[in-house]
């Protein structure tokens, strides 16, 4: 039996799973939509990974990252739960040890990570709003009646991208509608949108940060060729996009799971696991904490949200 390690990155839009071996080779991976239900999507993900995984491997570590990392960490009894910034940096450094700048645009958030000699020196993440992230792109794709996967190809066709307000998605959307109504071709609007994503990113997250090559671009949006093109154009630098750029967080957390292995062997059999959450409001004091109780096979494993520690 050979050892392998599972990394799961549960984002707001998509759920990613990667299994690596002792040499950090990817032996199975999958990318599916979260659809607002992290528990179910992880169950689905594990079924897919189980099919793909060679029977000679046994899982010796599980790590979770992404916005649902804590919940899924409990569900899978993960040996490590880590934030996505650390996971992304580690994943990237595993394959690109000389990288200096990581640009990342995901479903709900975007981040920039600056690295020097393999050490993170600074990073930034969008603060309040989700302007210019994947969820905005997919809602606009729906509005324009095309698949978000085709977005990049459309954008590359355009020779004359329209100008779209880059600061706020509310303004961007009304700009977009106006441009469409006065008759601009679809590809020019889409190209304009891709360009505005880049400008928005550089003006918000990338503001005041020194972007030094080599630069790598990852997260779901890195699959959009239009956005990549405008990053290259505006930064006047080459941009690396790894074929696994959308999986980098999952790879990173799998590497961390390997580093933190504790001898346990894990199973991918979760189909019949009863994993439930119950939400209620505590009326003990005027804080009215929103509490979440988490049950694994009807057994209470954790509860979150209490300010006073009563639960």
Partner 1 sequence: MYKLGIPRSLFYYYYGHFWQDFFNALKIDYLISPITNKKIMENGMKIAGSEMCLSLKNYLGHIDYLKDKCEYILVPRISNFKNDNQTCTNFWAAKDIVNNLFENKILNYNVDIQKHQTLKKGLFKIGKVLKKTPLEIKKAYHYAVIKEKKRLKKNHQINQNKLKLPKTKILIVSHPYNLYDELIGKDIIKYLKKRKIELIYSDKFDPKITNKLSKKISKDLYFKYSKDNLGAIIYCQNKIDGIIFISSFPCAPDSLANELAMRKIKIPYLNLVIDDSTSFTGLETRLESFLDMLGGKLND
Give the footprint of partner 1 on this chain (CB under 8 A): 67, 70, 82-86, 89-90, 93, 118-125, 127-128, 207-208, 259, 285-290
- Using the minimum distance from each CB to partner 1, give the nearer residue, 114 or 240: 114
- Using the minimum distance from each CB to partner 1, give the nearer residue, 39 or 120: 120
Going by C-alpha positions, the residue among 112, 103, 38 that lies closest to residue 69 is: 38
Query: How remote is the C-alpha of 146 from its chain's centroid?
Result: 22
Going by C-alpha positions, the residue among 108, 106, 92, 110 that lies closest to residue 199 is: 110
Beta partners for residue 102, in sequence order: 113, 216
CB contact at 8 A, 85 and 249: no
Packing angle of the helix pair 134-144, 186-204 (nearest 10 deg):
160
Tell me how far apart the alpha carbons of residues 230 and 209 are, in angstroms, rounded to a whole number. 18
Q: What minimum distance in Å lies between the beta carbon of 280 and partner 1? A: 15
Q: What minimum distance in Å lies between the beta carbon of 287 and partner 1? A: 5
- Using the minimum distance from each CB to partner 1, give the nearer residue, 98 or 147: 98
Q: What minimum distance in Å lies between the beta carbon of 239 and partner 1? A: 22
- Using the minimum distance from each CB to partner 1, give the nearer residue, 116 or 271: 116
Going by C-alpha positions, the residue among 9, 4, 2, 5 that lies closest to residue 219 is: 9
- Using the minimum distance from each CB to partner 1, give the nearer residue, 148 or 256: 256
Burial 165-176 (b: 16+ CB within 10 A, else e): bbeebeebbebb
Q: What minimum distance in Å lies between the beta carbon of 34 and partner 1? A: 15
Q: What minimum distance in Å lies between the beta carbon of 111 and partner 1? A: 9
3-state secondary structure of 80: strand
* Residue 111 phi, psi dihedral angles, 5° rounding: -145, 160
- Using the minimum distance from each CB to partner 1, give the nearer residue, 72 or 268: 72
Tokens, residue 86: 């650390």
Q: What minimum distance in Å lies between the beta carbon of 298 and partner 1? A: 26
Q: How many CA atoms lie within 13 A of 292 on its CB side?
A: 8
Going by C-alpha positions, the residue among 65, 45, 43, 53 that lies closest to residue 21 is: 53
- Using the minimum distance from each CB to partner 1, give the nearer residue, 285 or 300: 285
């Amino acid at each position: 039996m050979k050892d392998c390690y599972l990394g799961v990155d549960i984002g707001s839009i998509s759920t990613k799973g990667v299994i690596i071996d002792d040499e950090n080779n990817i032996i199975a991976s999958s990318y599916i939509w979260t659809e607002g239900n992290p528990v179910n999507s992880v169950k689905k993900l594990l079924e897919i990974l189980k099919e793909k995984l060679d029977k000679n491997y046994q899982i010796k570590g599980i790590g979770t990252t992404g916005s649902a990392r804590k919940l899924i960490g409990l569900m899978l009894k993960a040996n490590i739960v880590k934030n996505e910034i650390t996971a992304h940096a580690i994943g990237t450094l595993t394959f690109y040890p000389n990288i200096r700048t990581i640009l990342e645009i995901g479903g709900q958030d975007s981040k920039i990570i600056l690295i020097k000699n393999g050490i993170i020196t600074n990073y930034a993440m969008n603060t309040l709003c989700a302007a210019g992230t994947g969820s905005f792109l997919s809602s606009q794709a729906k509005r324009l009646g095309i698949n978000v996967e085709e977005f990049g190809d459309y954008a590359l066709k355009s020779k004359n991208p329209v100008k779209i307000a880059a600061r706020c998605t509310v303004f961007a959307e009304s700009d977009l509608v106006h441009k469409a109504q006065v008759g601009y071709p679809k590809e020019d609007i889409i190209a304009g949108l891709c360009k505005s994503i880049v400008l928005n990113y550089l003006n918000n997250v990338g503001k005041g940060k020194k972007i030094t090559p080599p630069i790598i671009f990852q997260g779901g949006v890195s699959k959009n060729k239009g956005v990549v093109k405008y990053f290259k154009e505006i930064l006047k630098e080459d941009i690396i996009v790894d074929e696994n750029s959308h999986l980098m967080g999952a790879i990173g957390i799998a590497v961390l799971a390997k580093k933190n292995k504790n001898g346990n062997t894990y199973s991918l059999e979760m189909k019949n696991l009863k994993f439930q959450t119950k939400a209620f409001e505590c009326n003990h004091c005027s804080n009215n904490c929103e509490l979440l109780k988490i049950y694994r096979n009807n057994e209470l494993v954790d509860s979150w949200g209490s300010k006073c520690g009563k639960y």
